[in-house]
Amino acid sequence: MKKPNRSILVLVAMMGFFAFILPKSLSAEGKFKERIQRRISSQSAIQYEPYYLEQQEISSGEFEQGGKNLPKEEALIEARRFNKPDSSITPSISSYAIYKTDYKAEIEDNVATVKGSVLFEVFKKGWTQLSLVSSSVGLIDVSVNKGASFVTMQGGKYYLMVDKPGRYNLEIEFLIKAARERENGPGSFSFEMMPAPISQFEFTMPESGVDIFVEPAIKTEVKRETNKTIAWAIMPNTNNLMVRWTKALPKEDITPVKLEPKLYADTTTYASVGEGLIRCTTNINYSILQSEVSSLRVALPEDVSVLDVRGNDLRDWKISKKDTQQYVDIYLNFGVKGNYALTLSYERNIGEGSVVADVPQVKALGTERETGYFGIAAATNVELAVNKIDRVNLIDIKELPSSIWGSTTSPILLAFKYLNHPFAIAIDVTKHEELPVLVAAIDSASYITLETDEGKSLTKAIYQVRNNVKQFVHLILPPEATLWSVFVAGKPKKPAKDKNGDILIPLEKSQLAGQTLTQFPVEIVYLSSSSKLGLVGGLKLRLPQTDIPISSLDWRAYLPLDYVYFNFGGDVKLSERGRGRPFIAAMAGAGSSLRQSADSIGEQFAPMVKQDFYQEVKSAQMKGVLPIKIDVPEEGRMYHFSKLLVTEKESPWVSVNFIKVSRKIQGFFKFLIFVLILILGAIFIKKLPKHKKAQDIS
């Protein structure tokens, strides 16, 4: 079966008619009806072809393309490529296209006579069936200009059957019963029409003074003549058409009346009090009725500073003052009607200290009625209380609109509601003295001290700091101490000294992690000196004093091995787990250490703590350069101390007595000390009952 070789789809042709032909026709000269009819009747160069292939064609296993018959599988692919679905997707659709229709109707009594002219084209050989009209009409005549054709009825419709492809002109005539309420009263009728990309409909009513309505018409023109009324309509692609008519109402000359706009305003104001100011944000929600407005005006007290005005389509705003009032004129890009929202930000100076402050108010001028709410919060540590109110109601803060709650992070303390202007709100503002709070803290401090028998002491301190705004940490080192190294957050820093001789170490600002500040380490190393250790004597070690409190302190002190230590004192607590345990370690890298036995490698570190070592390091010190990282050798008898809550005025210390004893007889010496303690204890216990008897006799 061969099909005409067409180049453009019918669907594209229909869309092209509306997108290209109809707009051009509307721009032509002359009346609308004449322009449309002239454009429709002109010869079109558009070539049409059917939307889809017949189901029977694909099912037969062939598809003609360029003179070739393709197998069914390839035919299905080509059908999809040309937007022609196979039988499993879309049912069979007849291969014909209706180009345009033209219907005319006249009514006599209650019967309408409809005549239609239809231009259509058939694309396939064999019988093609076209739906004409519902079988509820009285069908008078159906004719086509060529070929064999006949009319059949099935499923409540009349159908036209043609047997050849080609372009046809169809003429149809039928009768419809019209519905009318009474003689010459309102009436209507409807019928099923053949859908086309564009259709014309003309209806003649043998009455004058009638209004005629055609639905769904794109445009309807009504022409009134003597004893008849003619309505012409241009129709879209539709299956049904309805006509209604009624007696035309007499036209009266209506004098246009310009209505004055009516404005109503709902106002919400959030005010925060603190730092000698009342800062306010007011939202005015207008309801504009009857006519549009292109400008608005609000009034405020003269001593109020307007900070900002915001609104949709806001062109400009300006301030003017008159009679102890200032006026804000708001200009819009165009007139508005209905709802309009305006936001103003402003502030008033109320003075420092405890005062009685009047809350400023915004009045929307030109309104029939204005109601509003006030929510007042404290921005700083001030106490707010109601002093005096006039024509306002004190309400619960839960009754405030959500727009006020969304404007603040501070708790709202006072809430008011007013019904109209004027009103007054005066509040007592009581200023309280601010107390200092911690802006930096040391969560933990770890100290390692190496003491030599030559009286040299090398200490390394690591502070875990959280800092908000503090610029420096002030350190007071022990007497005769020399600072060697400073690192903050792992980076070398240059220390400084203030006029009091305190060491200043620059701090970083902690990062915010959720609601808490992160820690960073501050590491210092310093060398201090005292008298050389003798055979018998006492030793006192002191840590630096900081101006930031320390939550917990951990201190490991390494003392020379050739001594016996007893009678510990100080403001730190000696831990049992670190009481006199021999310990030798070499710190490597960032604080990692390898601990070994003192008896095996203790002598390796002896040269490091000699006088020459400290002199060499001291001679290497320079100002204005970044320090190097120093590690403290861990050698000797280790004692562990701890303390909680070290204030900024404390300098933790420990004292101890010592006796120099050879390591070979240290155990025996310890035993003698233990025996001596037992003897002294026994003597004390023995004397205690005699002392008690003497007290009883007396």
Contact 281, 307 (CB under 8 A): no
Q: Does the model's pTM come out above 0.75?
A: no
pLDDT of residue 2: 44
Residue with tokens 């216990």, as numbered in its chain: 685
Name, in order, each residue with C-beta under 8 angstroms of 586's C-beta and a sequence gap of 6 or more.
593, 594, 605, 633, 634
Could you give the CA distance from residue 318 to residue 327 in angstroms, rounded to a whole number? Answer: 8
392-398 LR contacts (CB < 8 Å, sep 24+): 392/416, 392/417, 392/418, 392/423, 392/424, 392/425, 393/417, 393/418
DSSP secondary structure of 71-137: PHHHHHHHHHHTT---TTTS----SEEEEEEEEEEEEETTEEEEEEEEEEEE-SSS-EEEEEEETTS
Task: Tell me how far apart the terminal alpha carbons of the chain are, to the nearest angstrom.
Answer: 146
pLDDT of residue 629: 80
pLDDT of residue 263: 94
Could you give the CA distance from residue 447 to residue 462 in angstroms, rounded to a whole number? Answer: 7
pLDDT of residue 588: 33
Q: Which H, E and C letters describe 41-53, residue by residue? A: HCCCCCCCCCCCC
Mean of all residue pLDDT scores within the chain = 80
What average pLDDT score do residues 584-590 get? 35
pLDDT greater than 60 at residue 112: yes
* pLDDT one-digit tens code per residue, 502-526: 899 999 998 888 778 899 999 999 9
pLDDT of residue 580: 67
* pLDDT one-digit tens code per residue, 435-492: 788 889 999 999 999 999 888 899 999 999 999 888 999 999 998 899 999 999 999 9
pLDDT of residue 394: 93
Q: How confident is the model at residue 354 (pLDDT cuts 50, 70, 90)?
A: confident
* pLDDT one-digit tens code per residue, 393-426: 999 988 999 888 776 778 889 999 999 888 999 9
Report the chain's C-alpha Rg in angstroms.
Answer: 52
Could you give the CA distance from residue 232 to residue 689 in angstroms, rounded to a whole number? Answer: 137
pLDDT greater than 80 at residue 84: no
Q: How confident is the model at residue 617 (pLDDT cuts 50, 70, 90)?
A: low
Burial (CB count within 10 angstroms: exposed 0-12, middle 13-18, buried 19+), residue 115: middle
**β-bridge mates for residue 288, sequence order:** 263, 338
pLDDT of residue 473: 93
The helix or strand, by DSSP H or E, that contains position 635, with its residue range, turns out to be strand 634-646
* pLDDT one-digit tens code per residue, 198-234: 899 999 988 888 889 999 999 999 998 888 999 999 9
Could you give the CA distance from residue 31 to residue 132 in angstroms, rounded to a whole number? Answer: 31
The residue with greater pLDDT, 577 or 136, is 136
